[in-house]
């Protein structure tokens, strides 16, 4: 029952450590040439989890390694540690599709500008 809170606290600690060490670079999402109408880019924090549903209580389908990622669309779901209910849909590193909470994505604003709803 407390796993999402523990995971979120661990993630926030990892972000603080990485930021202090200068290894985490945040940049607002920018549209790539020819892809803006289909996908929206952004950076996910290290080891962001992708969920089956728009809820941290749903099954984990995979992770994003913290590298630059493409997001297909966004939608409302359960509130997450970012205190909003915005989730992004993407292909995870293992090839599965999943929902990533907005708190784990640096898009500049939520929902990401120009990214369609789904």
pLDDT averaged over 10-residue windows placed end to end, the chain, 118 residues: 44 43 35 42 80 97 84 94 92 94 88 90
Indicate yes or no: pTM above 0.85: no
- Is the Cβ–Cβ distance between 71 and 90 less than 8 Å? yes
pLDDT value for 23: 35
């Amino acid at each position: 029952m407390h796993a999402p809170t523990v995971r979120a606290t661990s993630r926030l600690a990892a972000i603080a450590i990485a930021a202090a060490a200068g290894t985490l670079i945040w940049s607002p999402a920018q549209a790539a040439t020819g892809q803006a109408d289909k996908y929206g880019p952004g950076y996910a924090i290290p080891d962001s989890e992708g969920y089956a549903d728009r809820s941290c209580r749903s099954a984990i389908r995979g992770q994003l390694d913290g590298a630059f990622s493409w997001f297909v669309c966004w939608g409302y779901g359960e509130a997450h540690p970012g205190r909003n209910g915005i989730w992004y849909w993407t292909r995870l590193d293992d090839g599965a599709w999943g929902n990533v909470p907005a708190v784990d994505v640096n898009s500049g604003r939520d929902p990401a500008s120009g990214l369609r709803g789904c």
